[in-house]
Amino acid sequence: MNGDEEPRLSARELLERLEPSLRVRTRVRAVAALVAGLAGAVFVLGLWWSEPAPLPGRTRLAFGLLTAFCLAWACYGGWLVRRRVPLFATDRVIAAWIALAACASVTALIAFVAAQRGTVPVPALVVGALFVGAALVLVVRAHRRRAALLRRLRELGSEPQP
């Protein structure tokens, strides 16, 4: 080794050096998901509880669905805030699946309500299908990114933490 070469770092040392530069962005994203999820859940629950008369079943279903997805985002944000190890794009995979579940469920709910009313809201279903398609693209991209990072980690000779 001559004086111009830098010493080789192990995969773990490399990750430890990179972690501080990645942590701030991940933490900001996590706090944003946590706060937005909690705020959304409080808002939807406040609307739901402030209704004066008993609501129809499909309206209760819609409020429950929206509350569940807001809480899912809040749980996702809380999980990210607590993590202290490299995620290897697991966070992106989880976020993409939450988005896909939300888009598909809301689109299905719109179709269900339309069928009960005897109408076909074509524009709403087309927009819902576009959102489902976009979420599917995000799921595929997130899985590919995670696979590429894990492949790279194996090439470096280290195993991911559980």
Q: What is the pLDDT along the chain (162 residues), one digit of tens a residue?
A: 454 555 676 666 666 565 554 567 778 888 999 999 999 999 999 999 998 888 888 888 889 999 999 999 999 999 888 876 667 788 899 999 999 999 999 999 888 888 888 887 888 899 999 999 999 999 999 999 999 988 888 887 755 555
Q: What is the largest CA-CA distance in the chain?
A: 81
The radius of gyration of the chain from alpha carbons, rounded to an integer in Å, stands at 21
Sign of CA dihedral 137, 143, 145, 147: negative
The structural domains of the chain, with segments of one domain joined by +, span 11-156
Residue at 95: amino acid letter: A
* Residue spans of alpha helices (H) in the chain: 11-49, 57-82, 90-117, 122-156
Q: In whole angstroms, what is the distance from residue 156 CA to residue 15 CA?
A: 11
